Amino acid sequence: MNSIVAIVGRPNVGKSTLFNRLIQRREAIVDDVSGVTRDRHYGKSDWNGKEFSLIDTGGYVEGSDDVFEEEIRKQVILALDECDIIVFVVDVTSGITPLDETVAILLRKTKKPVYVAINKVDNAMREADAYEFYNLGLGEFYTISSINGSGTGELLDAMVSEMPEVDTESTDINPGDELPRFAVVGRPNAGKSSFINALIGKDRNIVTDIAGTTRDTIDTVYNKFGFDFKLVDTAGIRKKSKVKEDIEFYSVMRAVRAIEYCDVAILMVDATRGFEGQDQNIFWLAQKNRKGIVILVNKWDLLDKETNTMKKCEEMIRKEIAPFTDVPIVFTSTITKQRLLKALETAVEVHKSRSNKIPTSKLNETMLELIQNYPPPAVKGKYIKIKYCMQLPTPTPQFAFFANLPQYVREPYKRFLENKMREIYDFKGVPITIYFRQK
């Protein structure tokens, strides 16, 4: 499981610029799915071979310092709860402000690693001004310029040194005999808590408690409807204490944490509201993290239905999640207990598909014949020949196709191959990745 890094600080110190610079390193690889709504405050990055998730708290607070002091305080507390590493950005040109001091007081109480990044240090004079920030009482600092990137390498080196070595085989996905980990995610009031209560019942049929991971979450093993599974508790969205509190920021943070920790994300959508932008963002988070996905359209009992209401609703959702449309959609009601067993069964099936391993001989037999009948289109008079393919030894389904001119294989052809693989092998609800490599 990857570490989660939060970038915190008061407005206008350059948090978003730093965020953009850090995710740029992986942008070309990570964002290879066209036509997907991006949450501009969440990204994945890697440095020295360690991948991590990055959250920019900056995009969620706009306005004057005084109005938002309370808001920023809440965000920092939330970031401390949910993240593994904190990057505290300050601005050398304005020195230490009262708001910086407020944030520093909160950060001094945590046992989690905190990195002070002093931004806008782009000359020797400003380098000297940076020493003032020792007064924040947070120890060492890093002088950076997020506009031109200077100093970010040292900051990243220090950050990744705190990150655990990830043994992908054992942590990213459960081995065959391990139980599936499900996370119920979605917008506030979609019915997540009711679904969890219906799944585990008031008398919580607990088999064992597995002690928390580094983030103090506890995977509890449940047995319900004849299935054993672990539930990654998303702990629900806390009640809004003030109308101003940004619930969207909260739900993204919760979703990131829960999704990083699960094998299958059960995305709950409120049927009375439809599939909204926030649902799309959470779907994209799960896809980007290569998790299995099941969409539950909840509160189905509240809708006035005609003959093809379900079909229309399903078509609408598939249009929103394109191009990855091979995802099971189940219509549920936690009140009438309608199709809850079906929802759990589907999640278990998706979990099994996610650990599918296809023998190389079988894969070549099927795919090479198909490629021969439908070869990639020639580019600039050059013919692309694909000679061999294999499934990579990764925890999630990833495939390499070896070709003479891999750089000329276009996105539509990749999608064609992916769709054919989905038809032939069962990958419903599972993001798969296809790479083209030089033979």
Annotated binding site for GTP: 9-16, 56-60, 119-122, 186-193, 233-237, 298-301
Helices (H), 336-395: 340-354, 360-373
Which residues participate in the annotated binding site?
A: 9-16, 56-60, 119-122, 186-193, 233-237, 298-301
Count of Cβ atoms closer than 10 Å to residue 172 Cβ: 18
Distances (CA, A) of 90 to 13, 132, 144, 145: 6, 11, 10, 11
Angle at 291 between CA 303 and CA 184, to 5 degrees: 40
Q: What are the φ/ψ torsions at residue 236 (nearest 5 degrees)?
A: 65, 160
Angle at 345 between CA 422 and CA 214, to 5 degrees: 90
Coil vs helix vs strand at 52: strand
155 by Cβ neighbours in 10 Å (0-12 / 13-18 / 19+) ranks as: buried
DSSP per-residue letters across 146-211: TTTTBTHHHHHHHHHHTSPPP-HHHHTS--TTSPPEEEEEESTTSSHHHHHHHHHTTTT-EEEEEP
The first and second tokens of residue 436, run together, are 């083209």
The first and second tokens of residue 392, run together, are 């990579």
Angle at 44 between CA 38 and CA 294, to 5 degrees: 60
The first and second tokens of residue 210, run together, are 């597995």
